[in-house]
Amino acid sequence: METTLIILKPDAVQRGLIGRIIARFEDKGLQIVGARLMRISPELAAQHYRDHLGKAFYEGLVRFMTSSPVLVLAVRGVGAIAISRKLMGATFGSKAEPGTIRGDFGVSNSFNLIHGSDSPESAERELALFFGSGEVLEWKRSHEGWVYDLSGGKPE
């Protein structure tokens, strides 16, 4: 099982898309194991987006991410990172395919609704930034055997 960080950005929160976006992850079979509605501080945004420091869009990105509340999620499942990124769609809403979160809800090349970790290493680092010890939960879903084929002893 893999756990990834998902952030519903200020535009998703302000537009009232939280429930519709979370439903997409749950409908796919992924498990929400942590959730936090918060305002990101400039310091936390700087840590989170440190790889973009010095790029032309960096200051605007930090300003945007600190402008309004966000919903931060820990999402778990087999292949959760790749599956989440497919659900999200291409970075820019204007280029994202219909059926994806950005393709269905976004048109802007600046406001793109959602962030998802791009690798297991990023997920580990990002989850530690937004969740403290014990805030990402381990729990069994009663329908797990209907999400994954468990006949071989491990989820497939």
Residues belonging to the active site: 115
Residue 28, classified by CB atoms within 10 Å of its CB into exposed (0-12), middle (13-18) or buried (19+), is middle
Cβ neighbours for 46, distance < 8 A, ≥ 6 positions apart: 53, 62
- Torsion sign (Cα): 57, 61, 62, 63: positive
Q: Strand locations in 1-156, DSSP E?
A: 2-8, 31-38, 70-77, 114-116
Q: Which two structure tokens, joined as six digits, stand for 45?
A: 């945004």
